[in-house]
Amino acid sequence: MGKSVMIKVEKLNKTFGDLHVLKDIDMTVNESDVVCVIGASGSGKSTLLRCLNFLEVKDSGTIYIGGEKVERETHDLNEIRTRVGMVFQHFHLFPHMTVIENIMEAPINVKKIPKDQAYKEAKGLLVKVGLSDKESVYPGKLSGGQKQRVAIARALAMKPDVMLFDEPTSALDPELVGEVLVTMKELALEGMTMIVVTHEIGFAKEVANGVVYMHDGRIVEVGHPKKIFEQPTEQRTKDFLDSVL
């Protein structure tokens, strides 16, 4: 039994004014895949994720989630976003809510889960991300790494099929990056389907089973991490890796 396709993108295009940010993007991500998207700033990586979560409106192309063609006009975007979790560079926690309230908020309000069940599940997620002692703390009292782990727990609270990570460690102090990557590695080991825009080449080498290199709005090369990092076929990929490795 082959793995089912979780996300499929065909001929995706996105422009901002005169800027053509995504150019005919084709991409397939299977169940339990961990795909790292790499490339220089401005290559379209974050916009690709935001289109997959319908935070940006694509100009053309088709997006399938779990085998189903998804369009803004015909689908409930909140329902889609429960299936496709997103973790941002800058956490986006609610500052006026405690850690556990941040995690419980969407399950209660979007999924209409009873409060006691949401609380129990949120406590379990705090254990998972190693923050069970921070339940009643406000985000302002947390380190960046702790905030990001709460953000991951919050996304997981919706029980998504896919997790999108948009440079989840780039706003963190170097010594805090590791704790977030550990949490992400554990998710990967559990079989969570993940698309990760990242500069953490070490993480991509260790955890990903696919790497996508983007340049100037196009996917230039796709392959297994070993192949992309050790024997890239495209000169642009080689040049990029020479600049970061």
Note the pLDDT tens digit of each residue in 163-214. 999 999 988 888 888 889 999 999 999 999 999 999 889 899 999 999 999 9
CA 210 to chain CA centroid, nearest Å: 14
pLDDT value at residue 172: 85
pLDDT value at residue 238: 93
pLDDT value at residue 81: 82
- Among positive and negative, which fits the CA dihedral 114, 115, 121, 122? positive
Whole-angstrom Cα distance, residue 75 to residue 166? 24
Share of the chain above pLDDT 90, in %: 77
Whole-angstrom Cα distance, residue 189 to residue 4? 18
Burial status of residue 25 (CB atoms within 10 A of its CB: 0-12, 13-18, 19 or more): buried
Residue 1: pLDDT over 60: no
Share of the chain above pLDDT 70, in %: 99
**Of the listed ranges 34-43, 84-93, 137-146, the one predicted with least confidence:** 84-93
pLDDT value at residue 110: 85
Mean pLDDT of the chain: 92
Whole-angstrom Cα distance, residue 185 to residue 166? 16
Q: How would DSSP label each residue in 26-46?
A: EEEEETT-EEEEE--TTSSHH
- Of the candidates 192, 190, 195, 125, which has an alpha carbon nearest to the alpha carbon of residue 157? 125
Whole-angstrom Cα distance, residue 4 to residue 17? 36
Q: What is the pLDDT of residues 100-126, one digit of tens each?
A: 999 999 999 888 999 999 999 999 999
DSSP label at residue 192: -
Q: What is the pLDDT of residues 4-41, one digit of tens each?
A: 999 999 999 999 999 999 999 999 999 999 999 999 98
Residue 231: pLDDT over 60: yes
pLDDT value at residue 2: 61
